[in-house]
Amino acid sequence: MRMRKKAHLEERMERQSARLIERPEEHRGRWRELLDGCEEVRLELGCGKGRFTVETAKAEPEVLFVAVERVADAMVMAMERAQELGLENVRFIDADARGVTDWFAPGEVNRVYLNFSDPWPSNRQAKRRLTHPDFLRLYAAVLAPGGEIHFKTDNRDLFEWSLFQFPKAGYTLRDVTRDLHANGVNGVMTDYEEKFYSEGKPICRCVAVKGDTLSARLTLVRPGPEHKGRFLEYRQAFLDAGEVCGPLPGLDFAGDGEARSADGAAGTDTVAVKGDTFIALDRAGKMVGVVHIRRAALEPVGGHIDLAVRPDRRRRGYGVELLGLALAWCKDHLGLEAARLDCYDDNAAAGRTILHYKAELTDKVADGEGRQVRRYRVTV
Ligand SMILES: C[S@@+](CC[C@H](N)C(=O)[O-])C[C@H]1O[C@@H](n2cnc3c(N)ncnc32)[C@H](O)[C@@H]1O
């Protein structure tokens, strides 16, 4: 019986091969090429039988919808619905949503829909919730600046818990409601939603925006004499925290805070590798961090990128944002496909920052003082 069902499923899946993306990683950074005039890329994670994706895609033909579902029996129905309507702008991935950063490049996605995600009520299973901070950080890595998560659920406990998780993961909440359809049907319904609505159950909905806290807060600029006052204030933040500031190639923190031209500086590198140093200014013009990008990886330890965030601005996602800007620069100006990033084995915070991106631990080596260093290959 099971075999027959499976064989039948495979046939149905094969008939939908035009919309099924078997190797989504091959489209990373190129999803827009699948739809002429594509204006946005949106994901529905856990699409089930797909009513929401299909109806929304029909209404917005200029948007490419990618629906992810790990249960093929449900997803095949979604695909058949898309075929019936002849939709060109829908694709499906039959896999666990945990793979999003393998499939999408940083900033490639404009919106993520989480509709009636499984609540996993026991604390032991909290990590499986699609609104768990681990998942929210994965979405942040692929969302464009200002990108949004639209979350709907009938489960009040999951909703209230999730409302706490979004800000922790760096999102700003808006349009929070605990009765979306109080004044009649509001927006496209999902299969589950229609059932709950007909039972009179209130539907909770919120929008979580990546933007104010995770991206577009920082601007990279080449340091110049006009930044001297900001350097000194930045350096003082390290002194106040009892930390040593820098030095980084191109920034003379040891002296009077005067900036030298970063271009071509070898600075403190043991092997001369040309690089570019940028300071990161926030919207108020305050210096938040520094990043040095080498034109070739420093061997055996050092890699392509060094970065620092001032002590009084840590734990706010600035390191992740700064690294994202540096990786984008590596891609745009150095033509790299992957950068090497190194961090000390015992520097858990640096390791977490790197793992926000598509990073593969390649090996561990000892530095000149015998400290273990992790070396990562990070796709840009
Ligand atoms: C309760 S159903 C909701 C389906 C649909 N969104 C709706 O509202 O009608 C949740 C769906 O999410 C899928 N799902 C849960 N966790 C997932 C994950 N980590 N990756 C992919 N799909 C997942 C489940 O297989 C299930 O089909």
From first to last of its 380 residues, the chain has per-residue pLDDT tens of: 344 455 589 899 999 999 999 999 999 999 999 999 999 999 999 999 999 999 999 999 999 999 999 999 999 999 999 999 999 999 999 999 999 999 999 889 999 999 999 999 999 999 999 999 889 989 998 998 789 999 999 999 999 999 988 877 888 888 999 999 999 999 999 999 999 999 999 999 999 998 644 446 788 888 888 888 898 899 999 999 999 887 666 566 444 434 343 333 333 344 467 889 999 998 788 999 999 999 999 999 999 999 999 999 988 778 888 998 899 889 888 999 999 999 999 999 899 889 878 889 999 999 999 999 999 999 88
* Whole-number Å distance between alpha carbons of 356 and 249: 25
Mutate which of 130, 138, 153, 158 for ligand 1? The one with the most ligand atoms within 8 Å of its CB, which is: 130
Reported in sequence order, the residue ranges of the chain that DSSP labels E, i.e. its strands, are 40-45, 63-68, 90-93, 109-115, 143-153, 171-177, 204-210, 219-221, 275-281, 287-298, 303-309, 338-344, 359-366, 372-379
Q: Where in the chain is the domain with CATH 3.40.50.150?
A: 2-210
Minimum CA distance residue for ligand 1 atom 16: 46
Pure H helices in the chain: 2-15, 51-59, 72-84, 100-103, 133-142, 156-168, 191-198, 228-240, 318-334, 348-354
CA angle at 236 for the pair 233 and 211, rounded to the nearest 5°: 60
The C-alpha atoms of residue 254 and residue 360 are separated, in whole angstroms, by 35
Contact, 69 vs 54, CB < 8 A? no
First-to-final CA distance of the chain: 47
pTM of the full structure: 0.62
Candidate from 118, 127, 132 with most ligand 1 atoms within 8 A of CB, to mutate? 118
Tokens encoding 25: 């990683």
Q: What is the pLDDT of residue 259?
A: 38
Ligand 1 center to residue 271 CA distance, Å?
51
* CATH fold of 2-210: Rossmann fold (3.40.50)
CA of 71 to the centre of ligand 1 (A): 8
Nearest C-alpha to atom 24 of ligand 1 is from which residue?
Answer: 46
219-379: which CATH topology?
Aminopeptidase (3.40.630)
Question: Residue 118 catalytic?
Answer: yes
Contact 49/78 with Cβ under 8 angstroms? yes
Q: Which of 272, 312, 274 is nearest to 292 (CA)?
A: 274
Sequence-separated (6 or more) residues with CB below 8 Å from residue 214: 140, 170, 171, 317, 320, 321
- Tell me which of 118, 175, 179, 346 is the catalytic residue: 118
Pocket of ligand 1 (CB under 6 A): 45-48, 68-71, 74, 96-97, 115-118, 130, 190-193
- Tell how far the Cα of 1 is from the centroid of ligand 1, in angstroms: 25
Six token digits for residue 227: 């930044």
The pLDDT of residue 267 is 34
CATH 3.40.630.30 domain locations along the chain:
219-379
Find the 69 Cα to ligand 1 centroid distance in Å. Answer: 6
